[in-house]
Structure 1
Amino acid sequence: MTLSTHAIPHNITDVIGLPIDNVTLDDAAEQVIGTQRKFNINDNSSTRPSVYYFVNANSVNTCCKKPELTEVLMKADSLFADGIGMRIAAKKCGSELIDNVNGTDLLPKLCERAAKSGKRIFLFGAKPGVAEKAAKNLTKSHKGLKIAGTHHGFVSEDKMPSLIAKINKSKADILLVAMGTPIQEFWVEKYASSLDCQAVMAVGGLFDFFSGAIPRAPLIMRKYGLEWVFRLIQEPVTKFERYVLGVPEFLYHVYLENKRFSGVRP
């Protein structure tokens, strides 16, 4: 994994070389809602949306296999720590995360604030029909929430300009991209400068939860960081590599990085 070489601000916690924004769920929601467009990193004469990513154990494993993902994550305006794995990693690196800033808990808070402020949200990603169902459920749960539009994630490269035009025409303030890591991060990196919205957030499988396609783990399992066990029980075949093989792989990376922080060669 390529590590950052720039100074880390006081509110940032270095977790396995990634600058994690160490905030509460409420702070994260306020940050996204109040975001403004930024100067384009590659072209200071233009602006781009603020970009937000969630980082979990799977993200770290992917970064170790695809260093280009690390480079993309480093360009984000904020990285939020998602899951018990990141809490374990932070402790091993000598830090303490103050909250589990995962998308499933953050989205309701984001929608609540968007409804009050009049911000418009566009849902892009997942299988056909899923984003639409998620949008309907979110508007039912949050009175006054404005969904600017929806679109599934199966878009060929030649159709991408028309999708970008649709998103921009919708006058969305916040774009949620649900395509899974690392596809969604690479998509945001490639197309962010073409978007007129204020913020873009990559949200993984979030639409599946809010559409009702996949139930969420019981509260007691979420409280103790065992939601991944519930997901594995639900989808043992599709989640086997991510959790059964991925968790030991992640812990190994944490061990190596902890040795780096302590100055001991593994």
Structure 2
Amino acid sequence: MPHSNPYDFPVVRVGGLATASVTRRQLADCMVQDCMAARNDRERWLPKVVLSSNGQGIALAGRDPAFAGAMAQADIIHADGMPVVLASRLTRHPLPERIATTDFFHDAAHAAERHGLRFYILGAKEQQNRAAVEAIQRLYPKVEIVGSRDGYFASDQDDAVCEEIRRSRADVLWVALGKPRQEYWAIRNRRNLQGVGWIKTCGGLYAFLAGDAPRAPLWMQKLGLEWLFRALDDPKHLLWRYVITNPVAAYRLVRYTQRAPVF
């Protein structure tokens, strides 16, 4: 992480990544705390970058030093994969639960309704982005969505995109650009987004909100098999990815998880 942990929860190294031992509720509380602090100091506040750890990300960080470096600059990394939670049982502070971004979004939206936080929805194709916005407005009518745009823009447009987001006075920026682009983008543009409370990467969230992708049954989620459900649902795009990344991730979860000392 970029600096000492300013939060109340402990951080443990799982699969080589510094991972927050935190509940969904605690993470939502951190979001509110940071966004309120940002509102009080918009000219100097740098957004907190909140990323997630799963098998794909752990494997990618293991073979790509640039991606590992980007992950190391996050303010919070939470576990978006059940194998990460299971591996954490070897550490001094086991993770209390998996925080899938598709689940955490609802905790964040409830908190946003209670505290009047504003969302900006960035990423995905235009049609899916629009459908996701409509779903959020239907599910959480008190959440103010102050802007949205698709993820099909070049890096030389970053400044204009960030200026639009800053003008919207968004508290939470949701970024769905696909891994690893979304992580690189969040870290690279943090200083262009002063005043935004959180930059939260969210991968395939909009597909789930739009109804384009189904969630795995709860029993598969609890067993850490959601990847298998997704691969079978979309084998053309996902099966080979999991075949390549899962063995690497499994090795790194065993080899690069910091174990608690045995007394």
Q: Normalising to structure 1: TM-score of the pair?
A: 0.87
Q: Which residue of 1 aligns with 2:167?
A: 169
Q: Which residue of 2 aligns with 1:117?
A: 115
Q: How does 1:1-266 map to 2 (within 5 A)?
A: 11-35=10-34, 36-37=37-38, 46-93=44-91, 95-195=93-193, 196-257=195-256
Aligned equivalents of 1:198 and 1:175: distance in 2? 8
Aligned equivalents of 2:5 and 2:110: distance in 1? 31
* Offset at residue 221 of structure 1 (A): 2.0
Which deviates further from its counterpart, 94-103 or 193-202?
A: 94-103
Matched-pair contact (CA < 8 Å) for 1:16–1:93 = no
One-letter amino acid of the counterpart of residue 132, structure 1: R
Residue 7 and residue 169 in structure 1: after superposition, are their counterparts in 2 closer, same or farther (change >3 A)? Answer: closer
For structure 2, list consecutive stretches of 5 or more residues without a partner in the other structure. none
Residue 111 and residue 7 in structure 1: after superposition, are their counterparts in 2 closer, same or farther (change >3 A)? Answer: closer
* Offset at residue 222 of structure 1 (A): 2.0
Residue 234 and residue 27 in structure 1: after superposition, are their counterparts in 2 closer, same or farther (change >3 A)? Answer: same
* Offset at residue 92 of structure 1 (A): 4.4
* Offset at residue 225 of structure 1 (A): 2.4
Aligned equivalents of 1:92 and 1:244: distance in 2? 25
* Offset at residue 185 of structure 1 (A): 0.8
* Offset at residue 182 of structure 1 (A): 1.3
Aligned equivalents of 2:55 and 2:215: distance in 1? 19
Matched-pair contact (CA < 8 Å) for 2:16–2:252 = no
One-letter amino acid of the counterpart of residue 61, structure 1: A
Question: Percent of counterpart pairs with the same letter?
Answer: 27
Matched-pair contact (CA < 8 Å) for 1:51–1:199 = yes
1:93-147 alpha-carbon deviations (Å, 9 max, x no partner):
5652111011011001100110121110001011122122111111111131111
Aligned equivalents of 2:141 and 2:49: distance in 1? 26
Q: Which residue of 2 aligns with 1:42?
A: none
* Offset at residue 251 of structure 1 (A): 1.2
Which deviates further from its counterpart, 57-66 or 27-36?
A: 27-36
Q: Normalising to structure 2: TM-score of the pair?
A: 0.87
Aligned equivalents of 1:131 and 1:241: distance in 2? 26
Identify the structure with bigger relative contact order (alpha carbons < 8 Å, sequence gap 6+): 2
Aligned equivalents of 1:261 and 1:12: distance in 2? 13
Aligned equivalents of 1:103 and 1:131: distance in 2? 16
